């Protein structure tokens, strides 16, 4: 239902380092990871709150002075999400229409936030000039570094409160 592909080049970064950092980052976001080839992997996760399955494919290629990262992110409503939507539509049509719009908006925002946070994490690797954080993505969790959706008050991965300063 939603697919986004982005390709970015990083000078001064080795493919091995980018691959390892990418694998770690996506794993911390709650994705089940599978190696699909040399410097390629696939990830999937299920977002039960809105009946959404998220998947991505990542490829890291060598360049003469760095590496190239090709990322495709895909989000689809699952059969369970469709059934729940159909039941709601039968019972409460206006609410179902509004719920569908909210769900699409939520998973589009979630996908955009994941992409921004991922590119931000690669840009903060040693040897890469520091990039300014974008306003579209809130700061990552101070406990584990995971991407947090704007409305999350607590990190679902480590349990740390967003406003916790760590003191």
Determine the pLDDT at residue 35: 96
* Tens digit of each residue's pLDDT (9 = 90 or more) over 60-100: 999 988 999 999 998 776 554 444 444 444 444 444 444 44
* CB-count exposure of residue 147 (10 Å: 0-12, 13-18, 19+): buried
For 28-35, what is the mean pLDDT?
92
Q: Structure tokens of 18?
A: 């980018």
Confidence of residue 59 (pLDDT cuts 50, 70, 90): very high
Residue 96 confidence (pLDDT)? 44
Domain at 2-123: CATH code: 3.30.310.80
Helix ranges (H only) for the chain are 15-28, 79-91, 93-123
DSSP symbols for 107-122: HHHHHHHHHHHHHHHH
Residue 48: the pLDDT is 65
What is the chain's length?
167
Kindly state the tokens that stand for 119.
Answer: 């590119």
Q: Which pLDDT belongs to residue 104?
A: 56
What would the pLDDT profile of 116-133 be if each residue is shown by its tens digit?
889 988 887 665 544 444
**Spatial distance between the Cα atoms of 97 and 94, rounded to a whole number of angstroms:** 5
CA end-to-end span of the chain: 43
Task: Write the Ramachandran bin of 37: left for phi over 0, alpha for psi from -120 to 50, otherwise beta.
Answer: left
């Amino acid at each position: 239902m939603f697919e986004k592909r982005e390709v970015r080049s990083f000078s001064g970064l080795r493919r091995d380092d980018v691959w390892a950092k990418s694998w770690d980052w996506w794993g911390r976001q709650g994705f089940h990871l599978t190696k699909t080839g040399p410097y390629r992997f696939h990830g999937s996760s299920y977002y039960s709150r809105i009946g959404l399955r998220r998947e991505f494919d990542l490829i890291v290629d060598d360049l003469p002075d760095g590496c190239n990262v090709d990322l495709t992110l895909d989000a689809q409503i699952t059969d369970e999400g469709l059934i729940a939507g159909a039941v709601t539509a039968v019972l409460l049509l206006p609410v179902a229409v509004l719920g569908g719009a909210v769900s699409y908006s939520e998973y589009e925002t979630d996908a955009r936030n994941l992409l921004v946070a991922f590119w931000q994490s690669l840009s903060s690797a040693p040897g890469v000039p520091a990039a300014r954080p974008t306003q579209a993505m809130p700061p990552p969790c101070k406990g584990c570094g995971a991407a947090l959706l704007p409305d999350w008050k607590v990190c679902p991965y480590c349990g740390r409160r967003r406003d916790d300063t760590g003191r």
